[in-house]
Chain A
């Protein structure tokens, strides 16, 4: 059986159920790289130049960990999924860059998704991808429809039950996704509701963000993430703040940030990595918005390879203390 490798990085958290369904419908086995760990990160960063951003370094590490375990590696180029809204340059150059820095990698399946070029181009692209495994266009069509259904299910699960992507993938596919057991004890009332905004590949990669969600839950906080909002909520928040979206994944940052800042969360944490081009602007938009509203505390955590766990923990504790103090003071005033 042909094996296709999918690196557990970057777009994995957004599209994995879709990709997996597509390939399995075509009779292909899907291999996923392990959770990010020290080896993956250092192997990845040793291949690329130093100023490459952390998520791409992690991505290269994941590709390296798949070398020898599969026949193809699937790295799509998502240029645009909405009209005239484009993606970051690093996503566009990803397959070519991987080919250049990891010459030993298995053949790369790179397809370009660009909605601006019309439906016909999209169908051709999908067929071209399917052609690696079958000549039958009907089979590709069936697989892609099933994949799309899986994707809709996945999105629905997350917004309906307030699940994070790893939890939703776990529920859909039954494969364990989480490295650490999440604190399940929800009997105690939540101390505060904290919203985490940022790209899924930072928010849900526990190695990069030093188990931030885990820590927040351990301190009895309710954690909200961008995926728990509906498309309409995200889009309306973007329109209120910047007008027209410019980046493909602007919703995760500006949309979710704007929504949570306005909607009675106790605090918003923006997660970004150093050197992220779009985030350097988008987080600033959210930060300015938070300052203008002046109601919800906002903290911006910038992560990179050298970010020490202790530093993140200290900032997190200080932030939570501040929120609790604020809550207590409000109670006193009411009394």
Chain B
């Protein structure tokens, strides 16, 4: 049994660690690239969203590398994702690949379901082994996200542009290589101190832009053309609430206990959207309302034809809380120069808005 799964950001690193510890043959398909996208687009129904096309591309490439068991997340009651696996399996069969699709219920099978799935995939490994491997995978995931958070803060204020990105790339590779909890901890500590040592411009107060929207396009840099890095280059600090480690922590451990990290966001959205519309639509509206005073602007990422995000976008335009929102629809037609132009214009607008606001405040004080 050779197992593979589609990419989403750096998610392959923890999964690789997990399966390697269990001595399962785990194949990592090539990191998303133009070929992946073309393959996916070629074999997908035209009206589908970019997550489907990219994951299909990954699966085709993985099948080409000899994977015969493909792991695909699904879920019920959440947008089209629940249907992905069925269609992708048919497409792969039609292409002549003899593969088996194993679905991973992300919304209903909590921790136990996930562990059972691993047990099945690892050919009935013993429970202590599975739990130790799971913990190691989780540790890698947490380390990755912890470093990424710091990188997001360093990017806009570093003196030498690109320093943080270089350190991050090195850290990702080191984390991927780490083979024990000890080395992992060391890598994390080293990366954080190096990031701390980067020469920074502490005088300017960078613009703060929140990034919200659909889970996959938020977390897969290839699908959003690296919007976070581009914003960092423009001197903007990016705030993102969605991290896989957070998501795992809550959906696997805390949600079954009745804790929900999103309650605050949902409550904020209530005046405008009373119920879950699937996907991340509710959260998008909530984040705009919640952070209207905190952020300078908001970037709303959504795949083209994403149903929940269209509902969210319609509602976001009409909220009382005003904050500039730039919606970027991601699909295979999105091109870098076009996106950069829009980002630059957006950032200009935000600087202008901030200057105007501080002037207004200044004048206010002068009068009184």
Contacts and interface: CB of A to CB of B under 8 A. Distances in A.
B311 A283 contact: no
B48 interface: yes
Contact of B275 (A49, A92, A103): A92
A51 interface: yes
A138 interface: no
A48 B279 CA distance: 20
Contact of B311 (A84, A90, A285): A90
Contacts of B48: 280-281
A145 interface: no
A100 B314 contact: yes
Contact of A112 (B49, B86, B275): B275
B281 interface: yes
A194 B226 CA distance: 49
Nearest to A289: B90
Nearest to A116: B77
Interface residues of B, number: 39
Given A49-B314, A97-B315, A89 B47 contact: no
Nearest to B87: A281
A68 interface: no
Contacts of B256: none
B273 interface: yes
B87 A89 contact: no
Contact of B79 (A89, A110, A242): A89
Contact of B313 (A49, A246, A277): A49
Contacts of B47: 274-277, 279-280, 302
Interface in A271-293: 274-281, 283-285, 288
B351 interface: no
Contact of A100 (B49, B279, B317): B317
A157 interface: no
Contact of B90 (A280, A288, A302): A288
23 contacts: A48-B314, A49-B313, A51-B305, A51-B329, A84-B76, A84-B77, A89-B79, A89-B278, A92-B278, A93-B277, A93-B315, A96-B273, A103-B318, A112-B275, A246-B76, A247-B83, A274-B47, A276-B47, A280-B48, A281-B48, A281-B87, A284-B87, A288-B94
**What are the 5 tightest A-B residue pairs by CB atom distance, in nearest-first order?**
A280-B47, A93-B311, A89-B307, A284-B45, A277-B307
